[in-house]
Amino acid sequence: MDSTGKVLATVLTVLLGSSILSFAAQQKQPGTPPAPSINEAWSQLHTAAESKNIDTRIEAMTALSVLPANKEAAALLRSAFHDADIDVRIAAIIAAGETKNRNFSNELRAMLDDDSPQIAFVSALTLWKMGDHSGEDILVAVLNGDRKADQGFLKEGMHHANRSLHNPTKLIKEGALQTAGILLPPVGYGMGAYKYMRGTTQNPRVEALNEIAMEHNHFIRDQLIHAAADKDDEVRLAAAEGLAKYSGKPVTDALGELFGDSKTAVRLMACAAFIRASGPAPLVHTKQSR
């Protein structure tokens, strides 16, 4: 880890500080929490994906973003592509992109011609991040804004949605640009469920956690395990997302403790991360001392 990473790790440790000490007592709920297992994790994710509550369905899609090449997760995301609520559809599209599973490419290309310009726009952005430029004309239409496109641009065969995308104001009013901006993370970051729920609110502790989580070694793993017991739900959420990249009993134990978390988003992210962490161990670099 370079000097910047060491500083961030130190800052995070200080910021976490005493916040963990009272968390266990605050989290205790009446009744027995569910025993952590892969079956229980899938049960919670399926229930959330089928919930009547829109926010819960969105949180389920966000959690599924940490499960690449997983057939069961892919099936839930594909089902949500056709959800009655547009925000759930957008969350599912972007989560599919975050899995980097190219088996979604055909469905994403088909949605470039969706009747909803928001869906077409987010599909184009997601494909672009995956290295597929099929929706380039849609992105160029947004770039052109209110300027009138010439006849050569609006050629036959172009995705019809781009005509609706020449007015960015319409997209802004309908929320597509904000949604895409919040959900499409920079390179190296996870989907960032807390950003979706909290809008543009800045949480320096979460930012520090996201930053050091881009390193992958035992020292960072231990920081994430520590943060998973924090009293701040945004920190717990970010920690659970980061732990999805690791495996081993200390990791699954930390994630299992969150199966009964009071916050739905944290609980679902922990379930998805638990499923991934229970699989084959990924390569973890050993922290080098300097």
Cα–Cα distances in angstroms (integers) from residue 216 to residues 14, 59, 285, in the given order: 20, 25, 6
Q: What's the pLDDT tens digit per position in 238-257?
A: 999 999 999 999 999 999 99
Residue 194: the pLDDT is 40
Query: pTM of the prediction?
Result: 0.75
CA distance 107 to 129: 15
Q: How far apart are CA 111 and CA 123, in angstroms?
A: 6
pLDDT of residue 124: 92
Residues of the chain with pLDDT under 50: 18, 20-30, 146-158, 160-183, 187-188, 193-194, 196-198, 200, 285-290
What is the model's pLDDT at position 118? 85
> Torsion angle of alpha carbons 83, 84, 87, 91, nearest 10°?
0
> How many CB atoms are located within 10 Å of the residue 53 CB?
10
Query: Could you tell me which residues come within 8 angstroms of residue 38 by beta carbon, excluding any fewer than 6 positions away?
Result: 274, 275, 278
Buried/exposed 29-45: b ≥16 CB within 10 Å, e otherwise: eeeeeeebeeeebbebb
According to the model, what pLDDT value does residue 9 have? Answer: 59
Question: How many CA atoms, within 13 angstroms, populate the side-chain half-sphere of residue 155?
Answer: 3
pLDDT of residue 164: 44
The token duo for 89 is 């559809």
| Distance between CA atoms of residues 147 and 127, nearest Å | 25
CA-based torsion, 39, 256, 265, 204: positive or negative: negative
* Residue matched to tokens 């919040």: 182
Residue ranges of the domains in the chain? Answer: 43-205+226-248+260-277
Rg of the chain in Å (alpha carbons): 20
Is the domain covering 43-205+226-248+260-277 a CATH 1.25.10 domain?
yes
- Burial 211-233, CB ≥16 within 10 A → b, else e: bbbbbeeebbbbbbbbbbbbbbb
Cα torsion 28, 222, 98, 64: sign = negative
Type of residue numbered 2 = D
What is the structure's pLDDT at 30? 47
**pLDDT tens digits, residue range 180-228?**
444 455 544 555 544 544 454 578 888 888 889 889 999 999 999 999 9
Query: What is the per-residue pLDDT for 198?
Result: 46
